[in-house]
Amino acid sequence: MPSRLSLLLLATALVLTGCAKKDPAPAADAGNQPAPRKFLRFGNGTEPQDIDPAIVTGSPEYRLLQTFSEGLVSEDPDMQIIPGAAERWEISPDGLTYTFHLRADGKWSNGDPVTGQDFVETYQRMLNPVLACQYAYMLYNHVVGAKAYYDGKTTDFSTVGLKAPDARTLVVTLLQPAPFLLHAMNHYAWYPVHIATVKKFGGLTQRSTAWTRPENYVGNGPYVLKKWIPNQIIVAERSPTYWDRARVKIDEIDLYPIELADTEERMFRTGQLDITNEVPLTKLAVYRREHPESVRVDPYNGLYFYRYNVQRKPFDDVRVRRALALAIDRESLVKNVTLADETPAYNFVPPNLLGYRSEHTFKADLAEARRLLAEAGYPEGRGFPRADLLYNTLEKHKTIAEALQQMWLKNLGINITLLNEEWKVYMDDQHSRNFQFQRAGWIADYIDPHVFFDLWETGGGNNDSNWGNPEYDRLLHSALATPNNAARFAIYQQMEKILIDEMPMLPLFNYTRARLISPRVKGFFSTPIDNYPWKYADVAP
Amino acid sequence: MLRFIARRLLETIPVLFIIVTATFFMIRFVPGGPFTAEKAVTPEVMRNLERAYNLDKPLWRQYAGYLGKVVFHGDLGPSFKYPNRTVNEIIADKLPVSLELGAWAMLIALGLGLPLGIIAAIKRNTFMDYLCSAFGMIGICVPTFVLGPLLALSLGIYLHLFNVSGWYGPTDRILPGVTLGFVYAAYVMRLTRGGMLEVLNQDFIRTARAKGASEFRVIFRHAIRGGLLPVVSFLGPAIAGILTGSFVIETIFQIPGLGREFVNSAFNRDYTLVLGTVILYATLLIGLNLVVDVVQVWLNPKLKFE
């Protein structure tokens, strides 16, 4: 009875096919037909969590938020502050009061005007402890009364220094001058949300709501959210209500959430992508040789370093910490291992931050390194205890760690043990300080050297090195109270001197962002924190 | 037979219960949590986050609460990682994609594996057999993460026949379907060949030939039913493997299927999504095994429902 068998096979196939839902209409097949509209397709990294500024924490989300909303101020291609939702602002002479004047033609994508009240209510929502916004500190570290409101010490929001005296004015009162505030305000923690929409779909204190779905979402940015198919595509369409819409040139931006650099590269080759998020390192050299016009490497405001646990042997001895830092060849590391034009780091702050240049750096010095190690009691590495270098499981980190392991063995005669852990386990060990020394990276949230100095405050949430220095902390706080950059940067120089002397970590290199970009894309630029202000970009037809 | 099925279904309940319980507690005892990130969450924020997701309650109460919602409301909860979607929605969105991908892969596996296996068996120890067997060997040896990019390179980039990734139009099903189905085609081919050879050596086949039955009739009327039994037993685990093992394919070809969520949810410590996908896959696997058992008895007269 073969019929039973064939029936069975047929049924299996039918059941499986039958279960399968028909896919939505082909989304971005625009490459096959001549499009009258200008469109651009780019790889945006992992699938974004959400586009609610009070919920998200990652850079794919940051790029989306810059596409769909706009803060009070914005940054131009030279990283200078320019007007955003606010057309102008005044800062009081003591640097404590910021008065923003919102533009008359500022509109949400549903046509509502963007008002000062929108900003106040957005910030009130962010500071509501029930919502548990992870970036709430970006507000309460600076704004008068915000911490007390966040901690529930008061439920009266009028005690907080965020006020809208009329529809087109917002007044922010600060605890201390914080001269970088305008740059910090370009972070999405300060972006407004359309409160009426949030209220309509779930309410102000719910984390899991549907207000950010394409059919509900209302934003005030240069693009509106047209479509979002998870793990497939996000379609951004030029906003008809955005105040600066005349400057926006591209009609549609398709954002593809793609995790694998190899997949992106293949899509780039077939024209499915105009801009990729990454380049597979193994292919970078080939592209540089054969298609230099498609390779683009931008500086990225971040530092790749190894963090010491200064309470664990042998790194409780500053001589050991310095010896390891002096005994490696960073030039060779970036040239032969990391490959994407990273710059070797001999200090603690990446360059190009508002003109801040470190006066205090160190340099590789083998003889000095050997001397320090001998002085610490390990001449030529003899008797050096077991030291585990912890990194999260990733090929790139492994290669770098292996290269350094070799350098230390060859130059100092010490043998470091490599230890890798899955991301969350590694993070858990870092935050609970369960490591000897570990790979780490720090990327600026906004353009200011403060971001990198803040990291090493005694007991700071992200310090994790057990290192602390009262003088350093004092300088950090006095810098915040300094109204102008020249004076503030002078204080940072002193702080960097302390870091060089005490070395709570070992700087390796400053990050870059390498990507493939089609020559048909014009005027594209990436900020040092890897955002793409789309309104300056254009595409050749 | 109905009694057999009913008893097996009843047995499913404790099995599922154990799986859910073990998963619930295991994922909680893994270091790191849904909010562990490079930038440490301040203690105040962490307390509020835990309150927002009921993680501040004692573990047994969370467990009881979760189980109650799942059993009585079929509610798998909100996703930790994707706050604007619930686990039910994510599964409803992505399971069909994985099923469709699986269906294509199955079609390739059977459509390629069965004929090749039968040919190899009939033409045993000839050039044809060696050719088919070589296919079987290669299929088993070449991993999907090699085959996928190779197909994308040759058919997508060089010949411009397909998109190299995505899940938009009908043609986007071909590359991932072939990649996922290939290895199973190889297994099916080998099982078919083995099964057919065994049956073809048996007395009743010789009898059929002696009675003057045509070779076609011998193969397709008499031999195939017994010869394919190994393939049928393989189908259960194969479908399971195709459904749960689509992670690599879904990542390589950028397909919005459930396999990726299944794996990534564990990396993200997305507790509810981990549990939701585990419950779903466990149910699917138990169900499929039951179906295969029933079908085997149905096809093989030597077996009985006990």
- B77 vs A3, residue with greater confidence: B77
Alpha-carbon gap, residue B123 to B215, rounded angstroms: 12
Alpha-carbon gap, residue A248 to A228, rounded angstroms: 21
Sort out which chain B residues have CB atoms less than 8 A from A129's CB and list them: 44, 48
Given an 8 Å threshold on Cβ–Cβ distance, is A462 in contact with B31? no
Which residues 408-447 in chain A show a CB within 8 A of chain B? 422-425, 427-429, 431, 441
- pLDDT, one tens digit per residue, over A460-470 is 889 999 999 99
Instruction: Compute and round to an integer the Cα radius of gyration of chain B.
Output: 24
Q: Which of A211-225, B91-105, B175-189, B228-242 has the lowest mean pLDDT?
A: B228-242
| CB burial string B206-219: b at 16+ within 10 A, e below | eebeeeeeeeeebb
Q: What is the mean pLDDT of residues B114-139?
A: 92
Number of H helices and E strands in chain A, helices first, is: 17, 18
Whether the per-residue pLDDT at A414 is higher than 60: the answer is yes
Alpha-carbon gap, residue A189 to A194, rounded angstroms: 14
CA A109 to chain centre: 26
Cα dihedral sign for A305, A308, A309, A312?
positive
φ and ψ at residue B178, rounded to 5 degrees: -65, -45
Average pLDDT, chain B: 90
Tell me the one-letter amino acid at A504: P
Which residues 150-179 in chain A show a CB within 8 A of chain B? 150-151
Whether the per-residue pLDDT at A3 is higher than 80: the answer is no
Collapse the DSSP code of A206 into the 3-class scheme (helix H, G, I; strand E, B; otherwise coil) and give the result.
coil
Question: What is the pLDDT at residue A34?
Answer: 52
pTM confidence score: 0.88
Sort out which chain A residues have CB atoms less than 8 A from B105's CB and list them: none
Outline which parts of chain B fall under CATH 1.10.3720.10.
95-299
Question: What is the pLDDT at residue B153?
Answer: 92
Select from A13, A55, A151 the Cβ nearest to the Cβ of B106.
A13
- pLDDT, one tens digit per residue, over A178-229 is 889 999 999 999 999 999 999 999 889 888 889 999 999 999 999 999 999 9
| Residue A353: band (very low, low, confident or very high) from pLDDT cuts 50, 70, 90 | low
Alpha-carbon gap, residue B71 to A194, rounded angstroms: 37
Pairing label, strands A86-91, A97-102:
antiparallel
Whether the per-residue pLDDT at A25 is higher than 50: the answer is no
Q: Which of B19-23, B251-255, B284-288 has the lowest mean pLDDT?
A: B284-288
- Put simply, whether A61 touches B (Cβ < 8 Å) is no
φ and ψ at residue B264, rounded to 5 degrees: -65, -30
Identify which of B246, B252, B250 has the alpha carbon closest to the alpha carbon of residue B156: B252
Select from A213, A267, A423 the Cβ nearest to the Cβ of B84.
A213
| Residue A6: band (very low, low, confident or very high) from pLDDT cuts 50, 70, 90 | low
Write the secondary structure of A28-71 as one string of H (helix), E (strand) and C (coil): CHHHHCCCCCCEEEEECCCCCCCCCCCCCCCHHHHHHHHHHCCC
H or E stretch at A326: helix A318-326
Q: Which of A495-499, B148-152, B290-294 has the lowest mean pLDDT?
A: B290-294
Among chain B residues, CA nearest to A214: B84
Alpha-carbon gap, residue B78 to A336, rounded angstroms: 45
Alpha-carbon gap, residue B118 to B220, rounded angstroms: 10
Which residues 242-271 in chain A show a CB within 8 A of chain B? 256, 258-260, 262-263, 266-267, 269-270
Q: What is the mean pLDDT of residues A18-40?
A: 54
Q: What is the mean pLDDT of residues A474-481?
A: 92
Sort out which chain B residues have CB atoms less than 8 A from A464's CB and list them: 40
- pLDDT, one tens digit per residue, over B27-70 is 999 998 999 888 888 888 888 889 888 899 999 999 999 999 99
Select from A28, A129, A150 the Cβ nearest to the Cβ of B168.
A28
Report the complex ipTM: 0.87
- pLDDT, one tens digit per residue, over B209-249 is 888 888 888 888 888 888 888 898 888 888 888 887 788 99
Residues 6+ apart with CB under 8 A from A127: A133, A136, A139, A140, A146, A149, A150, A160
Q: Which CATH class is domain B95-299?
A: mainly alpha
Question: What is the pLDDT at residue A19?
Answer: 44
CA distance B242 to chain A (A): 12
Sort out which chain A residues have CB atoms less than 8 A from B225's CB and list them: 1-2, 4-5
Contact assessment for residue A254 and residue A263, using Cβ atoms and an 8 Å cutoff: no
Whether the per-residue pLDDT at A2 is higher than 60: the answer is no
CA distance A89 to chain B (A): 31
Whether the per-residue pLDDT at A18 is higher than 90: the answer is no
Whether the per-residue pLDDT at A31 is higher than 80: the answer is no
Question: What is the pLDDT at residue A22?
Answer: 39
Select from A4, A137, A425 the Cβ nearest to the Cβ of B42.
A137
Select from A16, A17, A424 the Cβ nearest to the Cβ of B32.
A424
- pLDDT, one tens digit per residue, over A102-159 is 999 999 999 999 999 999 999 999 999 999 898 999 999 999 999 999 988 999 999 9
Question: What is the pLDDT at residue B300?
Answer: 77
